[in-house]
Amino acid sequence: DGGITQSPKYLFRKEGQNVTLSCEQNLNHDAMYWYRQDPGQGLRLIYYSQIVNDFQKGDIAEGYSVSREKKESFPLTVTSAQKNPTAFYLCASSIGTGLRGEQYFGPGTRLTVT
Residue 47 binds to another protein (criterion: CB under 8 A):
no
Residue 8 binds to another protein (criterion: CB under 8 A):
no
Residue 45 binds to another protein (criterion: CB under 8 A):
yes
Spatial contact of 25 and 4, defined as CB atoms under 8 Å apart:
yes
Beta strand ranges found along the chain (DSSP E): 4-7, 10-13, 19-25, 31-37, 43-51, 54-57, 64-66, 76-78, 87-94, 104-105, 109-113
| Nearest to 32, CA basis, from 1, 78, 69, 79 | 69
Size of the site for another protein (CB under 8 A): 28
Q: Of the two residues 16 and 101, which places its CB atom closer to another protein in the complex?
A: 101
Residue 40 binds to another protein (criterion: CB under 8 A):
yes
Closest distance between another protein and the C-beta of residue 24, in Å? 14
Binding positions for another protein, rule: CB under 8 A: 4, 6, 31, 33, 40-45, 48, 50, 56, 58, 90, 92, 94, 96-97, 100-108
